Amino acid sequence: MTSNMTSRRSFMMVATAIAGASQLPDYLLAAEETDSSKQLMAYVGTFSSPLKDVLKTQVDLPPGNGRGIHGFRVNRQTGALTEAFVEPMGTSPSCVIINAAGNCLYSSNETDRVGDSKEGTVTAFAIEPRDGSLKQLNTVRSGGAGPTYLSIHPSGKFLFVANYFGGSVAVLPILNDGRLGEPTDVQQDEGKIGPTKSVQAPPGSFAFSGHDRTHAHMIQPDPTGRFVLHVDLGLDRIYIWKFDQKTGKLSPNSPASVSLPPGDGPRHFYFHPNGRWFYSIQEEGSTIVLFDYDAESGKLAPRQTISTLPPGYTGSNFCSEILVSADGRFVYAGNRLHDSIGIFSIGEDGTLTHVADEWTRGNYPRSFNFDPTGEFLYCCNQRADHVTVFKVNRDTGLLQFTGHYAPVGNPSSIVFLELPN
């Protein structure tokens, strides 16, 4: 049985895929500049049950094993994580993000209700430069229930929120001291809900997650900051907004959205470093769609659809995260139930070729992220209650398990910060 499992999860490299990898300019192939003498911190967001000693109000959310935001020191040679502190939160801070200045962290608190408000919240923290610890600045309403994703405008003046259970997106101003203001705009998704069966799911799939109502799952500005895009899983649509940096308001682009195949459920997306290619991952369809992106008009044009799963796979699967390597040569796609990270090479025209599948060494990989150097990839295995660490082969894109696990209850997201000397 063990040998069969190893074989099923083994990761057959396709030589022709590597040979077809994109030939990119030197500036895209260079690793992010880092100082190995600086302490590297990792922050892990979790699903956490209400903590009586933290919350003084009623909260609606599913039970979780996390204790809040977990801070780790990172061994820069081995990739291993050592817990440094926990910032206790009982509101499921499932998505964490750090601003470009590295002095503030923001968490989306994935609740349906706090007190009498049927909304989730977002919390701002100051980061202590000496040890990376967190000091809460303020908490504001998110503009909808179940905030599940955050991103920051390139100007650093606005934070965007996708409210999964509320089916809405919101814009929050970032004040000069890092605190958050009340929403400057909230947009509610509307339209016809897609079918509960994806037309492109693997044979025998019973994957059903969000086609019961509107579900905004991700929001992100484009690299220019002129446009903001968000996905609604239940509507099978990617929305494109014009963004007014003076007022913090969103207005529909023309066209205002693009459709994915019925029932596929777009979840996350990622821009290629060249800004022209846009990759969307579909949660229930288990696909990646390549779009050409026009930064002048904000328009998306689909060009390729490829499965996130190995050939011959049957049964249910739920996709999760998608990342593009900093050098623009590889795409990484998360598969829950198959419990793997699919690895794809990027061709000269942006199209994808399947290279391999790496077992995550845990159950239900919700998200993953690279360290600042791109040498290690960290996977949040939500139902296994741990983070696993992989060494990245920058030439082939393949992942090698380091043997390092970090215990975290229901990990959901992970971000990194180099502390000043």
Per residue in 60-102, pLDDT (tens digit) is 455 689 999 999 999 999 999 999 999 999 889 999 999 999 9
- Global pTM reads 0.91
Cis-peptide into 365, omega within 30 deg:
no
Token pair in block for residue 327: 């050098």
| Percent helix, percent strand, percent coil in the chain, to nearest 5 | 5, 50, 45
The secondary structure element, H or E, covering residue 321 is strand 318-324
- What one-letter code names the amino acid at 349? D
> 350: helix, coil or strand?
coil
Averaged over successive runs of 10 residues, the pLDDT of the chain (421 residues) comes to 37 35 36 75 90 47 83 98 96 96 97 79 97 98 96 98 96 98 98 92 90 96 98 98 98 98 97 98 98 98 98 96 98 98 98 98 98 98 97 98 97 97 73
- The distance between the two most distant Cα atoms of the chain, rounded to a whole number of Å, is 61
Share of the chain above pLDDT 90, in %: 82
pLDDT score at 51: 53
Per-residue confidence (pLDDT) for residue 23, from 0 to 100: 34
Q: Collapse the DSSP code of 318 into the 3-class scheme (helix H, G, I; strand E, B; otherwise coil) and give the result.
A: strand
Q: What is the pLDDT of residue 61?
A: 54
Could you give the 3-state DSSP secondary structure of residue 10? coil
Question: What pLDDT is stored for residue 208 in this prediction?
Answer: 85
pLDDT of residue 300: 98
The CATH fold of domain 14-418: Methylamine Dehydrogenase; Chain H (2.130.10)
User: What ranges do the domains of the chain cover?
Assistant: 14-418
pLDDT digits (tens, 9 = 90+) for 217-266: 999 999 999 999 999 999 999 999 999 999 999 999 999 999 999 999 99
